[in-house]
Structures are given as structure tokens and as C-alpha cells.
Amino acid sequence: MKKIVNPDRAEWAEILKRPTQSVADIEETVNQIFDEIRSKGNLAISKYTELFDGIKLDELKVSDTEIREASTSISEELKEAIDLAKKNIEKFHAAQKTEKFKVETMPGVECWQEKKPIQKVGLYIPGGTAPLFSSILMLAIPANLAGCKEIVLCSPPDKNGNINPAILYTAKLCGVTKIFKVGGIQAIGAMTFGTEDIPQVYKIFGPGNQFVTVAKQLATKYQVAIDMPAGPSELLVYADDSANPAFVASDLLSQAEHGKDSQVILVTTSEAMAVKVSEEIEEQLEQLPRKAIAEKAIENSRLIVVREEKEALELINEYGPEHFIVCSKNEGYFVENVENAGSVFIGNYAPESAGDYASGTNHTLPTNGYAKQYSGVNLDSFMKTISFQKISKSGIQKIGPAIELLAQAEGLQAHKNAVSLRLKEED
């Protein structure tokens, strides 16, 4: 990791730059695949699955037999771990439920809001080098709690045309209604437009590489919502001398092993801590099966030493990390004043891995600086709010004259007439 000591504020933008390709580099590919899916449906899906995943499939939909077989191939220990995580995630997200509220804004004018589930949602679950079945827990559980009727899951097949059994087991456990062997851009396109087999959905959720991220963003041009423009994983740790350097290094590496385009950053006021963490990273890196991936991510990463905590916090808020770990004797200062972060982990014993799997919070979070304006996935992500109003005859008499004046001032005569007719009838 590149070490930077006391950088000037003018250098922050360059230091904190993410290692991502521009959207323009990827957009042309996405548009080409989208166009083919719209015109050719399953035929285009099969073409790109063979091209990108190296497998020609006769059937895109996962069968009930495959799901049953997956269940028998999962160890009881793993099933118990999945169950523990499921219970914690359900508990945290169930607590987010809110009741409808009603208010009489003035006599005779009642207004209220109710939340309704999004009827059809699509979940994208990466496979490849890391089959992220934990993302199913994070997405299907709140989708079910919200009451979504159709939960469609797409995940890329392996070279034998199979989906990881842990993905299938977890999907069935969490109430996914349909599972398809489709990955990458073509999965997002299939859920955006629908094909002969794969349903069109109203909103797409889930992490992915830069190609999936751009595909999701372009899907919004076709009246499909997305959870957020999330991309490669990232983690920022603030650690002072009260932190355990071995723990800090393990956290940085846990995120670095996600992918070559991941980024991890250590911010500290202690140069000695930066040195210790760097040494720990070198030592722990040698033990990782995904060493080559983590090493590449480390090349994009930084150890940043600053003069004081205030400067550290300003830099952290400027970066807006997906994951933010605070290991400081003054942790309250950072917890109370952080403004831009997807999820915050506090203390030496709160690894980012806990949020990834089993503490209960959601791990589908904004990356690439989008934590400045986006929230992570939560129960409300799977719902929309509808407002209602009921106005009595006496109510329209009270607010009618004001509406007439407001509409006339905007030059909207028909708006005024809609009220005037009712007031005249009352007279």
C-alpha cells in the first residue's frame, strides 16, 4: 500500500480517487447487449452466457430438483450459520417497519401515507470467484418482510452450468420465487426487459462488478428502478494507537480480497500505526488463497497519515466510504460526526465481516462516493409510499379560496376551475 504523510488538502481528490473505469468505456458494450436482449430475448441471453461464462445452457431456470440436491450438499454446520445470520437480519429489518400515519391538516382535510410493497423485484447475486450467497440474505429477507409478491434471482452459472449450492439453498430458504442461471450484463438486461423465461421486474438489487453497475444505471432509462449505483467494494479504517494493527490489517485484507478493483484505505494520526499495519498486511497476505486478487487491490490502496483527528474526519467525509471502521480511544467523536458512510463499525471487535454476514445490518451499500447521497439497502428499499387525502365539503370551503389564488398566480386556469366549480355548487 502506498503511504502518504500529511497530504495537502489540494491533493485529496487525487489521493482518494477510485480505481474504476469510466462509464463511457463500458456503456457501449451494455447498450449493445441490451439491444439484443430486447429484440431476441432468450436467444441473446444464451449467446452471452456462452460467451462470458463459457457454458451453453439448454435451460435457464433452476429446477426444483437442483434446489433439493443443493440442500443435501450443504453441511449442517453451514446451514446453522446461515440460520443464525437469517434470524439476526430478520430481527434488524423487521424493526424498521413503520405504521401508516394520518393527520388532519385543517378541519375537513385528512391526509395520510401508507407503504406498499414493490410487487416484482430482481436480485442479482454474483458468482464467479466468490459466490455471494450472503447477499441473498440481505436482499430476499427484507423483500419478504416488505411483502414483495415476485422475487426473481439471477446468478451466473459455473463452467458445468451449475449455480453454487449455497446460493440455491439460501434462495429457497429466504423465499425467492424464481432462480435463473444468468450473470453479468445479460442478467440485468433480462430483468429490465423480460424474456420468454425471465420476468421483467420493477426494481433491481444487488452488488456486482463495474459492468453490472453500469448495466444497472442504464436500466433506469427503461423505467426500472435500482437500489443504488454500487460498484467495487471499499473499506476505510481510522485507527489510532489504541487499535490492534493485526485486526486492522485483517479488515483491510478482507475487503481487498473481494476483487482486483476493490480499494482499502487506512487513515491514522500515528505514523507508527501505519508502519505496523503495513507489516501485518505483508505477513497476512501470504496466507490468503486469494492472494493474487488482494495484492492487485492493495496496489490501488492507501495508508494516509494526517496531523489530527479533525483533519482525519474531514478526509473520511470527503471520501464517503462504503464501509467505515473506527478504532480509536476517541471513537465518539467519529461516530457522532461522520456524515458520509454506508455502514459504520465501531471498536476493535467489530470487523466489517460481521456486517457482511451476521450482525443483522445490510451489506448492500453505496460505493464510489455515493454514500454522500444514497443509503444502504433497508426495508423501505422494497416499498414505496403512497399518499392519500380525503376532503369534505367543509374542508374544500376552507382551503378552496387559497387554491384558487395560487392556481391563478401560476396561470393555471383549469386548476382554479376545478376548485371554483365545487365552491359554486356548495353556494
Which residue numbers belong to the known binding site? 124, 186, 209, 233, 255, 258, 323, 356, 410, 415
| Residue 178: Cβ-neighbour burial (10 angstroms; 0-12, 13-18, 19+) | middle
The dihedral built from the CA positions of residue 184, 188, 193 and 198, taken in this order, carries a sign that is positive
Picking from 422, 69, 29, 399, the residue whose alpha carbon sits closest to that of residue 210 is: 29
Residue from 322, 336, 339, 425 carrying the catalytic annotation = 322
Among this protein's residues, is 404 annotated catalytic?
no
Among this protein's residues, is 311 annotated catalytic?
no
Classified as helix, coil or strand, 397 is: helix
- Euclidean distance between CA atoms 266 and 302, whole angstroms: 6
Binding residues for Zn(2+): 255, 258, 356, 415
Query: Is 71:169 a contact under the CB 8 Å cutoff?
Result: yes
- For residue 279, how many C-alpha atoms fall within 13 Å in the half-sphere facing its CB? 8
Classified as helix, coil or strand, 117 is: strand
Report phi then psi at 169, rounded to 5.
-60, -50
- Euclidean distance between CA atoms 231 and 206, whole angstroms: 10
- Euclidean distance between CA atoms 117 and 146, whole angstroms: 6
Picking from 301, 394, 363, 308, the residue whose alpha carbon sits closest to that of residue 126 is: 363
Picking from 200, 133, 146, the residue whose alpha carbon sits closest to that of residue 172 is: 133
- Euclidean distance between CA atoms 61 and 42, whole angstroms: 11
Picking from 334, 372, 310, 365, the residue whose alpha carbon sits closest to that of residue 237 is: 334
DSSP classification of residue 379? G
DSSP secondary structure string for all residues of 247-284: HHHHHHHHHHTT-TT-EEEEEES-HHHHHHHHHHHHHH
Binding residues for NAD(+): 124, 186, 209
- Euclidean distance between CA atoms 265 and 312, whole angstroms: 12
Query: Is 151:176 a contact under the CB 8 Å cutoff?
Result: yes
Binding residues for substrate: 233, 255, 258, 323, 356, 410, 415
| Residue 275: Cβ-neighbour burial (10 angstroms; 0-12, 13-18, 19+) | middle
- Euclidean distance between CA atoms 85 and 137, whole angstroms: 8
Residue from 234, 257, 280, 323 carrying the catalytic annotation = 323
Q: Would you name the residues annotated as active-site residues?
A: 322-323
